[in-house]
Each structure stands twice: as C-alpha cells, then as structure tokens.
Chain A
Amino acid sequence: DSGVTQTPKHLITATGQRVTLRCSPRSGDLSVYWYQQSLDQGLQFLIQYYNGEERAKGNILERFSAQQFPDLHSELNLSSLELGDSALYFCASSVNSPSGNTIYFGEGSWLTVV
C-alpha cells in the first residue's frame, strides 16, 4: 500500500458526461501528479500540483481540469467524455517537486466511457 488513495476504483459512464476522480496523497506529501494510461500505452503525464498550485502541465486536454485543495487532496475533472477517454487514471504523490524522481502511485481509477 503506497498510502495514496484514489476513488472511485471503477467508473462506467456515457459519452458526453462529466466525471470527477479524487486523490488523497500520502500523509505529508505536498505534490500530486495525474497520469493517464491507455491500453498498451505508457504513462502520459497530465498535470502536477504542489501545495495547491499548478506547477507543470503535460498533454492534458482542454476538456480536463484539475485542482488541489487546501487539505492537499486533488480532483481531476473530465468533461464531454469521449470513447477515447477510456483509460486508467493514476494519481501519484511526493514530498516535494520531483527530486529523486520517486513518486508513489495510487491504485488508479478505471474509467470506461460507453
């Protein structure tokens, strides 16, 4: 158990809908990262927050947004969902910005868009 908690574990929704994925980082970790992993694809970096502020952005679609709250939990919002958005979404956390490249992943949220 990495200490990173993600909910929901599984989610099935229809095209055009909006979903929110939630992440609680490890105790004491200030940085939260979001990644998307599609079938046979690597881990695509979406966005990173540090202590409530956005620090880095990857290939995140405009339909997607995220935020980190004062209690350091984070939410990833996916809207106008398309079939291609079906993927495993990981949250990860680290104490600070990625020195040492050691980040701890949650178990992921499986999103299926039908």
Chain B
Amino acid sequence: GQSLEQPSEVTAVEGAIVQINCTYQTSGFYGLSWYQQHDGGAPTFLSYNGLDGLEETGRFSSFLSRSDSYGYLLLQELQMKDSASYFCAAGRDDKIIFGKGTRLHILP
C-alpha cells in the first residue's frame, strides 16, 4: 500500500524554527513534495525533493532520505502567516498521494 505519516499538530513560537516530519511506506515513488494549505484555501506547492538531501527555498527547506523512508519540512523565522496545514505528498504510477496533514499553530 501507499501511506504517508505525519504528526497531526505542531506548535511553535513566532520567530522560532519548526520541523514537520513525514515518513512513508510507498515504494517506487518519484520524490517527496510539500504543500501548504490555509483554512478555506487551496493547497499550494512549497517544495520538492527528487533526490536525497536538502532543498532550500527562502525560509523553507525540505529534506529527503530514501534509505530511511523519511523526509521533513523545516520552517525558519516563523511568522504568524505560516499558521496553516502542511501536507507531504509522494507520486507513483500517475498518482500523487497526500499525508493527512500537520496543523501548525504559531504562538506570539
């Protein structure tokens, strides 16, 4: 089967760094991606890892380790506007499967 596991909620303080983990049981997939979704909004693409290692895009970084079936999204210098749900996703056989999402709460 194909599944991606991520924590349901994470809480962090404004200005801090937070890491959202994603473990997967999806063989033969082509990469791990991350999406952000604000309440009532559409998911928007944040980052993609096609190869092992770290990808950095501004305040957001994403990491993938295929040997560990594990990835994470790192958000730095947290801002209140980063309060949202974050989904990891993996593609295989023309499907893109999403995890259930991690709700990020940011405290002032």
A interface residues (Cβ-Cβ under 8 A, vs B): 2, 33, 35, 41-43, 45, 48, 50, 55-56, 58, 90, 97-108
Contact = CB atoms under 8 A, between A and B. Distances in A.
User: Size band of the B side of the interface?
Assistant: 20 to 34
Contacts of B90: 101
B95 interface: yes
A45 B98 contact: yes
A107 B42 contact: yes
Contacts, number: 64
Given A48-B94, A101-B33, A41 B45 contact: no
A42 B99 CA distance: 6
27 contacts: A2-B42, A2-B44, A42-B87, A42-B98, A42-B99, A42-B101, A43-B87, A45-B96, A45-B97, A48-B95, A55-B94, A56-B94, A58-B95, A58-B97, A97-B94, A98-B91, A98-B94, A98-B95, A99-B91, A101-B30, A101-B32, A101-B48, A101-B89, A101-B96, A102-B33, A107-B41, A108-B42
Contacts of A42: 87, 98-101
9 nearest CB pairs, A to B:
A101-B33, A42-B100, A56-B94, A105-B42, A43-B98, A98-B91, A55-B94, A56-B95, A101-B91
Interface string B82-108: 000001011101111111110000000
Nearest to A105: B42
Nearest to A47: B95
